[in-house]
Amino acid sequence: MQTFFKEVLTNAEITKFQPIKFFTDDDGDEVATLVSVTLKGNENGLVESYDIVHVFTFDERGKVLAFYELSNTAAYARLIGNRAPKFI
């Protein structure tokens, strides 16, 4: 997850990161979060706002085992000049 956020912050400034709703399975070991974000491209100053979904899988101690994001990749690509980020 550190790599994910490092890559995002290399390319854009996060001006809004607001969790909207949380979802969990019956066991609580998988959690999904709907998040409203606004990013500003570092190179071009373009601003994009959209919703993303973060999905986490936890072990019995609460440690994150897996992280998955659903995002508007077209909007993010516009922010970084239509080049593929390293984490894709």
Cβ-contact 31, 58 below 8 angstroms: yes
Structure confidence by residue, pLDDT tens digits, 27-60: 989 999 999 999 999 888 999 999 999 999 999 9
Return the domain boundaries, the chain: 2-79
For the domain made up of 2-79, the CATH class stated in words is: alpha beta
Which residues are 53's β-sheet partners? Answer: 34, 70
pTM of this structure: 0.78
Question: And the tokens for 41?
Answer: 């491209």
| Count helices and strands in the chain by DSSP H and E runs | 2, 4
